[in-house]
Amino acid sequence: MSEMKRAHNFNAGPAGLPLEVMLQAQAELLDYKGTGMSIIEMSHRSKEFEAMINEAEADMRELLAIPANYKVLFMQGGASLQFSTIPMNFRPAGASADYIVTGAWSKKALQEAQKLGAVHASADMKAANYNGLPASLALDPKAAYLYYCSNETIHGVEFFHTPKAPAGVELICDSSSDFMSRPVDISQYAYFYAGAQKNVGPAGVVIGILREDMLARVPANLPVMLDYKVQAENNSLYNTPPCFSIYMVGLVMKWIKKMGGLAGIEARNTAKSGLIYKTIDSSGGFFKGHAQPEARSRMNVTFRLPTEELEAQFAAEAKKQNMIGLKGHRSVGGLRASIYNAVELSDVEVLTQFMQEFQKKNG
Ligand SMILES: Cc1ncc(COP(=O)(O)O)c(C=O)c1O
């Protein structure tokens, strides 16, 4: 076998997974725990599968200290389907819901909710080109919930505080791109969800952490696959779940535990992002960060160069040196280094060294 060449993977999602997790999945692919079958070849009703999904959930509960009155749901449809199911399940007929719009994903969530009923933007950072967090919120005390996205993947804007909802207004968070990248107090949320494909696994599964009393809001006769109550009552096994994705999430949970849990992961992520932002800040303006310093994402570092030509050249030359995924999202341009949990500090060091050399040659 030729020597394996793994990329310095800065993809925004799907993204790199820890090498040891990939190797374990490879080793178990043909024979999961002596069954003579792969995890993707067996019934989701088998005792092996059930033990696996229960363990994945138990490890996630332990890592996030999820309180006992919360359900953990493993669902399909991507985080994008949640944009619709959240208002369907949690916004009673005639009620309005508040959305904090800090980038492309919270905007999409608001737009989807708007198709089905009333919404109100508590803030919209569009005028600032989604480069920061709102200084104040226009909150409706009668809103069914207050929704926000803790990390805007495209703009590279992250919340480091929890927005405060008025008394009686439930808080809902899309944590797709900073899920399990740091500790979080789940008890502040009525619903906290994330697609797996950035920090905790492959695409195909969405994790929803739901306070049980919210199930009382779910209206009767929702389409069965869009009904959180059905998912909760059937422990995510109403129908065939995304078996392989859940299995991979389970392996990543074990890896996070080995890395010192979420506190250990957070320290690692702070060091990685800190190094890139330091390189940006000490470049004398050659590199310009998109996000305001207080909102700088630790997951997606978005930055610009003096010209679009230089940006294209940067991405192309980086690619030649095995650094993949640095081109910014097509909607905003520029560059973006996504440095999720699995990205190593050594990958980031290769990138920052390249940034400095690129500036020397082209600055
Ligand atoms: C913050 C955030 N929310 C939602 C989504 C949509 O996820 P999906 O592609 O799984 O529907 C993404 C995708 O990148 C995202 O970054």
Instruction: Work out the mean pLDDT of the chain and round it to a whole number.
Output: 97
The CA distance from 204 to 79, in Å, is: 10
Distance CA 228, CA 233 (A): 8
Residues 6+ apart with CB under 8 A from 87: 97, 112, 113, 116, 117, 119, 144
Question: Is ligand 1 within 6 A of the CB of residue 13?
Answer: yes
Within 10 A of 224 (CB to CB), how many other CB atoms are there?
Answer: 12
Treating both helix axes as pointing N-terminal to C-terminal, what angle do 261-281 and 243-258 enclose, rounded to 10 degrees? Answer: 80
Catalytic-residue membership of 227: no
Q: How confident is the model at residue 2 (pLDDT cuts 50, 70, 90)?
A: low
What number does the ligand 1 atom closest to the CA of 77 have?
A: 11
Domains of the chain: 22-258 (3.40.640.10), 261-362 (3.90.1150.10)
Burial label for 287, CB within 10 Å (0-12, 13-18, 19+), is buried
**Is 105 assigned a catalytic role?**
yes
Q: How confident is the model at residue 317 (pLDDT cuts 50, 70, 90)?
A: very high
Report d(CA 268, CA 131) in Å as an integer: 24
Mutation pick for ligand 1 pocket among 149, 152, 176 (CB with most ligand atoms within 8 Å): 176
Residue 76 has pLDDT above 90, yes or no: yes
Q: Give the number of other Cβ atoms within 10 Å of residue 314's Cβ.
A: 23
> Alpha helices of the chain — where are they, by DSSP H?
19-28, 47-64, 78-90, 104-116, 228-233, 243-258, 261-281, 308-320, 345-362
For the stretch 177-199, pLDDT in tens is 999 999 999 999 999 999 999 99
Question: Is 124 among the residues known to form the active site?
Answer: no
CA 80 / ligand 1 centre spacing (Å): 6
Q: Say which amino acid occupies 256.
A: I
Residue 262 has a pLDDT of 98
pTM of the model: 0.98
Which residues lie closer than 8 Å to 48 by C-beta, 6 or more apart?
32, 33, 35, 39, 42
195 Cβ below 6 A of ligand 1: yes
Query: How far is 130 from 126, CA to CA, in rounded Å?
Result: 5
Upper half-sphere CA count for residue 122 (Cβ side, 13 Å):
29
Per residue in 83-142, pLDDT (tens digit) is: 999 999 999 999 999 999 999 999 999 999 999 999 999 999 999 999 999 999 999 999
For residues 18-42, give the mean pLDDT: 97
**How confident is the model at residue 1, as a pLDDT?**
46
